[in-house]
Amino acid sequence: MHNFKDLKVWQKAMDLAVEVYRAMSLLPNDEKFGLVSQIKRCTISISSNIAEGAGRNTDLQFKHFLNISQGSAFELETQLIISNRLGLISDELAKSLLEQTTEIQKMIYALGRKLTN
């Protein structure tokens, strides 16, 4: 069992979730139950699955939840790109959120590799 609160990737995923929620509050109300809802769900899923996996009994189980978290990070990346292409978020905001998302994807991958070695 790992202490998820000590994991840098979990901390960064939490920071990203806060920034994404702030960004989504700027979007029009007609998107609140569509794209915004989906973006919020997947961004929360990143840190939540890291935490859930860290609480499991084996590294193999932890890695499984890291894989789910990684999938959510790629889902978020796609939805941020769509939001930007639709003009719902600015290029500057999209760039910042996408850079953070990519960093987290790399960190999740590296942590998963450490668990299998």
User: Where residue 39 sits, what CATH number does that domain have?
Assistant: 1.20.1440.60
Please give the Cα distance from 37 to 41 (Å, whole number). 6
C-alpha distances in angstroms, 27 versus 18, 49, 89, 98? 15, 26, 8, 17
Residue 48, pLDDT score? 97
Residue 51, pLDDT score? 96
Above 90 in pLDDT, residue 21? yes
Residue 117, pLDDT score? 62
Q: What's the number of domains the chain is made of? A: 1
pTM for the predicted model, two decimal places: 0.92
- The vertex-46 CA angle with 43 and 51, nearest 5°, equals 135
Expressed as residue numbers, the domain containing 37 is 4-116
